[in-house]
Amino acid sequence: MGRVEGKVALVTGGASGIGKATVQMLVREGAQVVITDMNESEGKALEEIAGTIFLWHNVTDETLWKSVISETITTFGKLDILVNCAGVTGMTAPQNPENTTLETWRQVMSVNMEGVFLGCKYAIPVMKEHGGGSIVNVSSYAGIIGTPFATAYGASKAGVQQFSKSIALYCAQQGYKIRCNSILPGAILTPLWEPFLSGEEREERMNQVVKDIPLKVWGEPDDVAYAILYLASDESKFVTGAEIVIDGGQSAV
C-alpha cells in the first residue's frame, strides 16, 4: 500500500521541476493528482500517468481557483492534499532595493504570495467538508536569509512561511483537522535556475553556487518531493506549522 493511497492531491506548478517530481512521487505512492500549470504542453504530457488530470491555471486568478477546486471535486470527489508549488523568481529584471520596479515587485508577490493565499482560501472549505487534509506550501531558503539582489523573491517566500504558520494555527483552533507546513528548498536544479545558468559560463556558474553549499552538490527535485510526500501523508499527522529546510546546509552557515 502506498504512503498516500486513496488520497486526492492538487499540485500547482506541477508541469516541471519540483512540482513535476512531486506529482510523479504522489502518484507512485497511490494518490490521484490534479496537475495545474501555465505550461500546457508539459502539463498535458503528464496526463499520460494514470490517475492524473491537467488543468491550465494561473494561480493569481481567483476565478480560476474556484474552477480548479470545483473540477477536482467533480472528478475525484474530494481534496486531501494541496501543494502550492507554483512560483516565479522575477529575476529577469533587477531586484535590488534601489532598482526593483513596482511592476516586478507586484508580479512576484502576486504569484508567490497571492497564489498561495488563494489556494489555501479555496482548499480549506472542501478539505474540512471531507474530514481534513494537508497543505504544503513551497517557500525557499531565501525566505530565511538576506537576499540583497532578490528582494522581492526573498520577501515573498518569507511571507509564505509566516502565512503557513497562520493557516496551521487557524485550522487547528477551528478543529478542521487540516495541517499546513512549508518547505524551504535551496539550490535545487530546476528550470527556475536557467536564467542564472544559461550561456557559455554555465559550468562556472554552477560551480560557483556549489561553493556556498556545505554538501558541495546541487539538490535534485526528488530531494524536495520526498519531504512533500512525508508532509502529505499521515506519517506527519502530528506536524503542523513547521518548516522543513532542504538546502544542503546552506542556511546553517
Domain boundaries, given as residue ranges, for the chain: 8-252
Q: Which among 206, 190, 197, 188 has a CA at the least distance from the CA of 248?
A: 188
SS3 (DSSP) at 57 = coil
pLDDT in tens, 87-140: 998 777 777 889 889 999 999 999 999 999 999 999 999 999 999 999 999 999
Spatial separation of the C-alpha atoms in residues 127 and 58, rounded to whole Å: 21
192: confidence class by pLDDT, cuts 50, 70, 90: confident
pLDDT above 80 for 185:
yes
What is the per-residue pLDDT for 132?
A: 98
Q: What angle do CA 95, 100, 105 make, to 5 degrees?
A: 90
From residue 184, give the alpha-carbon distance in Å to each of 52, 132, 245: 26, 24, 5
Kindly tell me the burial class for residue 78, based on how many C-beta atoms sit within 10 Å of its own C-beta (0-12, 13-18, 19 or more).
middle
8-252: what fold?
A: Rossmann fold (3.40.50)
Spatial separation of the C-alpha atoms in residues 64 and 55, rounded to whole Å: 10
C-alpha cell, 167: 493557516
Average pLDDT, the chain: 95
Please indicate whether residue 153 is annotated as part of the active site. Answer: yes
Catalytic residue among 153, 170, 176, 226: 153
On whether the CB atoms of residues 69 and 118 are closer than 8 A, the answer is no
